[in-house]
Each structure stands twice: as C-alpha cells, then as structure tokens.
C-alpha cells in the first residue's frame, strides 16, 4: 500500500464536537500516528477539545483507555442502569423513583450535574504543563454567554490553572448544568463553530485534516472559503456513530475501531464502501477478473442471471448491457460507475452476506479467497 500524504509536511488537525461520538477521533488519530503523520496543531470544539488535549500531550494510550472504558456515570450524575434502560426502552427495569427525583432535580438545577465530567477532565489533563509546554498548538472553541461572542482560546497561552476550565467551557452542552467559570458563563463551542477549520486557516496552516463525527452544532466549514494553496483532507464515518450522549463503552469501542480503519482508508486510498480493500489496478483488470469469475455471480444472483440469459445468449454484450447495469442499480452505485466499482460492489455484497470479517485490510484476491472459503464452509462449493 502506498501512503497518499507527504510525511515531510506538518498537518493541522480539526476535531469536531459530537459528545460520545468522540471515540472515533481517537481511533483515527491512532492510524495517523502509526503512519508517521506529523501533527503541528489542533483546533477542537466540545469533545474535540478534550481529545485535542490528549493529542497535544501525545498520550494515545491514555486516550484509548478513557474511551474504551467510558460510561454515562463518568460524564453525568446519573446511573448507568437508568440510562441503559432508557436507551433500550426497558421501562420495567427503570427505577421510577430515581427517574422522578432526577427529573425534578434537572428542572430545579437547570440540567445534568456534570461533576463527573469535571473530574474526568481533571484526570485527562493531569499535569497541565504537558499541554502548556507542548510542541503542538492547541485552540479550543467556546462561546462566552457573558460576553455574547465566540472565543478561540489559545490554550498554551493560558495562565496556569485555566486549562481544565477552558476544556469544560468548550463542552458545556445545553443539557448540562451551567456554572460560572472565572466569573463568566460559557456554552458548548459546537453551537457556534462545531468544525473549526477556519481557526487553523487563520493561523497559517496549509495542510489540514478534518475528522468529522457529525455532531450537534453549527457546521461552520460549510461557509468557510478555502484560500488557494491550502489542502483540506477529510476522515469521516459512513455509518451512524450513535447518539451524542450515548456514553456506552461497547459503542465507544466500535467507534474507536471504525475511526482507525476509516483513517486507514483515507491514508492509503483504500477502496470499498463497507470493507477496506487495497485495489490499485485499472478498470480493465477488474473487468477481466469479473468475467473470469462469472460462476460466483451466477451462483449468488442465479435468478437475475438466468432471466438475462433467457432473453439473449450468454456473452459480453448480454452482461455489459443488461446484467451489469441491473447489478449496479441493486448495489446503488453512483452515476458514472465503472467496472472496477461494480466488481468491488459484487465482492462486498458477497462478503457482507457471508459475514466475512469486516475490520481488516484486504487485497482483492484475499477478499475473494475469504469469500470462497465461506462458501465452502456453507457446503455450497458444488453449486459452481
């Protein structure tokens, strides 16, 4: 596999806000770090600020530990059992008295008590000198309710003892109880700038990687004009990462894995919509492979191929003009698809139906071999 980024250059990292979805960013950072990508600085909103602190400290091990073991009680003053029951709509398992008490308390206090989040931030930051003295620039986005304006905080230039407050200020989600910090009130930075790409552009960055998690807030990237000479790259999920308040360790671990492999897809220009496939050859090569392996297509889509071949003798034109367009429509390939797209779509559909392991980087031949192995295990080898 060939890396698509120039490792001689330094990159800025934009970390979107999105609460519990933030595990995805740490998985992506792990892949970037393994590849040797140099991170010059970070701009983050909300959970992106928390993860940004970990990136600035270069503490991947701690970041993974936090997200692999996250739960609701580490963020809000609420029991994990109650939140799990609500998520599953298991009303019989709910502690009704606790729910009523917590409901009244939320109304009275103006939101969830986030003392656990404060403790988590304190634990994450630990010795704030690691951030203040970091070689990486770090910008945290928040909104000053008191001053009625967006703030871009250069965390490294803050006074000793203010780092934890600035991270908390960026993460003050609307459902959280809002308390004054340094005499002022703040609101979640994602509400005004959830994808702070403009911050790094304004600070002179020319190569920027944006890690999307599609959280709640104002997507300022949509209105940012990218100056000539600036390259912006994106790492983004193709499936739902769960809710922004779904602080569940099982979901977080899935998101860590997904972020890691999606970043690999970006770094090595891997093909595939579901799987991660190293497929560097030309369209003509994959067309020939598809035609030489027609027995698998006939086995899996027998009704479709039979109906096509009944109308016309089997041959290239029968397939290219009739069968292949029908398969492309079935796979919902984008307009302008080519035979490489179609062949990979066939492999992915087969792999998914046969429950081939998803999180692994395959060559085309490796994926085909695994498909054949699964077919063999199911006793279908005599079908072709």
Per DSSP, the residues of 124-145 read: HHSSTHHHHT-SSEEEEEEEET
Q: Name the CA dihedral angle for 131, 133, 138, 143, rounded to a multiple of 10 degrees.
A: 70
Planar angle of CA 136, 18, 67, nearest 5 degrees: 70
Instruction: Give the integer Cα–Cα distance in Å for 278 and 1.
Output: 7
Instruction: Give the integer Cα–Cα distance in Å for 309 and 303.
Output: 10
Q: How far apart are the first and last CA of the chain?
A: 33
**Catalytic residue at 306?**
no
Catalytic residue among 46, 49, 134, 170: 46
User: Please, where are the H alpha helices in the chain?
Assistant: 23-35, 47-57, 60-68, 80-88, 96-109, 115-125, 129-132, 163-170, 190-193, 197-202, 249-268, 283-292, 294-300, 302-311, 316-318, 324-330, 339-353, 364-377
Instruction: Give the integer Cα–Cα distance in Å for 288 and 340.
Output: 10
**Catalytic residue at 113?**
no
Instruction: Give the integer Cα–Cα distance in Å for 31 and 148.
Output: 38
Say which residues have a Cβ less than 8 Å from residue 289's Cβ, sequence separation at least 6.
343, 364
Catalytic residue among 113, 165, 188, 278: 188
Dihedral sign computed on CA atoms, order 290, 295, 297, 298: positive
- Residues tagged active-site: 46, 188
């Amino acid at each position: 596999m060939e890396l698509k980024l120039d490792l001689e250059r330094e990159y800025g990292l934009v970390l979107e806000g999105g609460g519990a979805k933030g595990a995805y960013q740490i998985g992506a950072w792990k892949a970037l770090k393994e590849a040797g990508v140099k991170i010059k600085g970070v701009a983050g909103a909300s959970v992106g600020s928390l993860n940004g602190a970990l990136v600035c400290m270069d503490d991947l091990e701690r970041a993974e530990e936090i997200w692999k073991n996250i739960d609701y009680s580490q963020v809000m003053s609420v029991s994990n059992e109650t939140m799990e029951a609500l998520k599953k709509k298991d009303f019989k398992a709910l502690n009704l008295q606790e729910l009523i008490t917590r409901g009244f308390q939320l109304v009275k206090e103006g939101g969830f008590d986030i003392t656990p989040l404060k403790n988590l931030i304190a634990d994450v930051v630990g010795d704030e000198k690691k951030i203040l003295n970091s070689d990486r620039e770090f910008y945290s986005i928040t909104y000053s309710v008191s001053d009625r304006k967006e703030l871009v905080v250069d965390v490294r230039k803050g006074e000793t003892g203010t780092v934890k407050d600035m991270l908390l200020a960026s993460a003050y989600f609307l459902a959280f109880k809002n308390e004054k910090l340094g005499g002022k009130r703040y609101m979640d930075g994602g509400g005004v700038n959830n994808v702070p790409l403009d911050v790094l552009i304004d600070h002179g960055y020319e190569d920027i990687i944006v890690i999307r998690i599609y959280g709640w807030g104002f997507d300022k990237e949509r209105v940012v004009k990218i100056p000539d000479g600036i390259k912006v790259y994106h790492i983004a999920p193709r499936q739902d990462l769960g809710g922004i308040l779904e602080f569940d360790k099982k979901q977080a671990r899935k998101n860590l894995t997904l972020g890691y492999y999606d970043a690999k897809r970006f770094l090595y220009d891997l093909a595939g919509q579901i799987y991660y496939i190293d497929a560097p050859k030309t369209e003509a090569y994959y067309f020939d492979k598809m035609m030489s392996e027609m027995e698998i297509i006939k086995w899996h889509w027998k009704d479709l191929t039979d109906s096509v071949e009944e109308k016309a003798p089997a041959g290239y034109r029968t397939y290219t003009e009739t069968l292949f367009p029908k398969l492309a429509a079935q796979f919902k390939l984008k307009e302008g698809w080519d035979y490489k797209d179609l062949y990979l779509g066939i492999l992915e559909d087969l792999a998914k139906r046969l429950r081939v392991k998803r999180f692994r980087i395959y060559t085309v031949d490796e994926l085909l071999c695994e498909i054949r192995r699964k077919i063999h295990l199911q006793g279908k080898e005599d079908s072709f």
